[in-house]
């Protein structure tokens, strides 16, 4: 791997090629060293003795050797390790806090295909590490230091039963039960394949599952939140009240209505925000969302008298804005939803349980609840092999964008966004009709090609 190892969601790459066992071990050693030098362990727990880490993973085959490497690195650095086994990312975050651990580690590449994998660290309390700490870990990779020996080395034990603690936490957060509700779950052959059905069954739902037979190689393969056709068919065929699709590590979800309509992250957030507002639990009557949220979401919030704070794309930026400004609810159109009163990160299981609970509490079908938002047609064009620097500085492009924005008025929106990883500029246009959005996006994409090539 080249350049900065940590991206917006940990360290990712093809397991065995980019993300090797050696790198996984070195990252774990460096993480233990950095946090230990910072005094984080002793001061955070107020005790003497070895720090404690929890380690979880999704079902990818590569997770087995990466878990072994991470555990070895931590234990050799004097950290006691609790192996949680296969669990969702938000479960690892929750258990980092609930068990009083000093560090959490999750091995997953989320919605990526099976050959990929990733390492994500959580600080004490279950929050992701800030950029500064990630940078320190990178800088100290391979550093020589006097590691513990003898009785001072870390000990390792299995803690698979802690999954029940996570499920119980989810159920305790619910405002009501799901008795009799028929739900189809698509678990993406991923980390939620056991805990998601269990949580919904214990909440009273009648549950059918697809994508719940992981073999280490089939995660996200034609299933999950990025492949909704199978879930849509299963919901309609079975006459279920709703369907829920998780991604590989279950930190996000999307929904399907009884009629087969997709309910995206914006619509899920609207349903939950309105419910929280009615219950008086929506902090500052404001939702935090990214610039990619549909304008229809913003208009629906405004109609309900609720505010919206926009951030850059990425759930970590949503969470940062929430924590810095005292908000407790936010998320992304992709289905990452952060309910800060109950979780420290996006949690697909938590989100789906609260969404379904609002269906049963309101006595209204999901179709009707989701219809509170009219989704404006949104067209995204990726213009490849152009200069992002030229796009940022182009007066002609700026003028073209201003003209399109004037023509749209309050009925549409334009977003020109350079890719964070490729020589590409993304052009997004929302308008009252699909035809208008396509025409204007095509026009702006041509301006980008002409002026920024």
Catalytic residues: 110
Residues present in the chain in total: 453
Alpha-carbon span 286 to 220, nearest angstrom: 33
Question: Do residues 309 and 328 touch, judged by C-beta distance below 8 A?
Answer: no
Phi, psi at 137, each rounded to 5°: -60, -45
Alpha-carbon span 297 to 271, nearest angstrom: 10
Residue 352 annotated as part of some ligand binding site: no
Residue 315 annotated as part of some ligand binding site: no
- Which tokens is 445 given? 């994409």
Residue 247 annotated as part of some ligand binding site: yes
In sequence order, the β-bridge partners of residue 425 are 383, 418
One-letter-per-residue 3-state SS of the chain: CCCCCCECCEEEEEECCCECHHHHHHHHHHHHHHHHHCCHHHHHHCCCCCCEEEEEECCCCHHHHHHHHHHHHHHHCCCEEEEEEECCHHHHHHHHHHCCCCEEEEECCCCCCCCEEEEEEEECCCCECCHHHHHHHHHCCCCCCCCCCHHHCCCEEECHHHHHHHHHHHHHHCCCCCCCCEEEEECCCCCCCCHHHHHHHHCCCEEEEECCCCCCCCCCCCCCCCCCHHHHHHHHHHCCCEEEEECCCCCCEEEEECCCCEECHHHHHHHHHHHHHHHCCCHHHEEEEECCCCHHHHHHHHHCCCEEEEECCCHHHHHHHHHHHCCCEEECCCCCEEECCCCCCCCHHHHHHHHHHHHHHHCCCHHHHHCCCCCCCEEEEEEECCCHHHHHHCHHHHHHHHHHHHHHHHHCEEEEEECCCCCEEEEEEECCCHHHHHHHHHHHHHHHHHHHC
Question: Do residues 354 and 173 touch, judged by C-beta distance below 8 A?
Answer: yes
Residue 173 annotated as part of some ligand binding site: no
Extract the annotated binding site. Answer: 110, 247, 249, 251
Extract the annotated binding site for Mg(2+). Answer: 110, 247, 249, 251
């Amino acid at each position: 791997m080249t350049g900065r190892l940590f991206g917006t969601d940990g360290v990712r790459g093809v397991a065995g090629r980019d993300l090797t066992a050696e790198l996984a071990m070195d990252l774990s050693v460096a993480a233990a060293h950095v946090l230990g030098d910072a005094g984080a362990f002793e001061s955070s727990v107020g005790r003497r003795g070895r720090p404690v880490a929890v380690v979880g993973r999704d079902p990818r085959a590569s997770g087995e050797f990466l878990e072994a490497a991470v555990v070895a690195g931590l234990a050799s650095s004097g950290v006691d390790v609790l192996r949680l086994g296969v669990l969702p990312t938000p479960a690892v975050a929750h258990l980092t806090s609930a068990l009083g651990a000093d560090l959490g580690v999750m091995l997953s590449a989320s919605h990526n295909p099976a050959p990929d994998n990733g390492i994500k660290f959580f600080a004490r309390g279950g929050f992701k590490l800030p950029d500064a700490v990630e940078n320190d870990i990178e800088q100290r990779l391979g550093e020589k230091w006097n590691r513990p020996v003898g009785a001072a080395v870390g000990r390792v034990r299995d803690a698979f039963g802690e999954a029940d603690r996570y499920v119980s936490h989810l159920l305790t957060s619910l405002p009501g039960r799901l008795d009799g509700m028929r739900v189809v779950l698509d678990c993406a052959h991923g980390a939620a394949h056991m805990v998601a059905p269990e949580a919904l069954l214990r909440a009273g739902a009648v549950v059918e599952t697809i994508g719940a037979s992981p073999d280490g190689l089939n995660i996200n393969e034609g299933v999950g939140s990025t492949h909704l056709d199978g879930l849509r068919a299963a919901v309609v065929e079975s006459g279920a009240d709703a369907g829920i699709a998780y991604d590989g590590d279950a930190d996000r979800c999307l929904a399907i209505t009884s009629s087969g309509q997709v309910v995206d992250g914006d619509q899920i957030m609207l349903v939950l925000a309105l419910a929280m507002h009615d219950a008086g639990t929506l902090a500052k009557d404001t939702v935090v969302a990214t610039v990619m949220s549909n304008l229809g979401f913003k208009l629906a919030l405004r109609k309900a008298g609720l505010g919206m704070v926009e951030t850059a794309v990425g759930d970590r930026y949503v969470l940062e804005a929430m924590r810095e400004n005292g908000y407790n609810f936010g998320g992304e159109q992709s289905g990452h939803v952060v309910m800060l009163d109950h979780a420290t990160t996006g949690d697909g299981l938590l989100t789906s349980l609260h969404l379904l609970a609002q269906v049963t509490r309101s006595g209204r079908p999901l179709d009707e609840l989701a219809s509170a938002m009219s989704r404006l047609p949104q067209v995204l064009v990726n213009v490849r092999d152009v200069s992002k620097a030229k796009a940022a500085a182009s007066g002609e492009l700026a003028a073209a964008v201003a003209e399109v924005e004037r023509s749209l008025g309050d009925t549409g929106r334009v977003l020109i966004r350079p890719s964070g990883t490729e020589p590409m500029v993304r052009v997004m246009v929302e308008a009252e009709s699909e035809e208008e959005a396509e025409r204007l996006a095509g026009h702006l994409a041509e301006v980008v090609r002409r002026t920024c090539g």
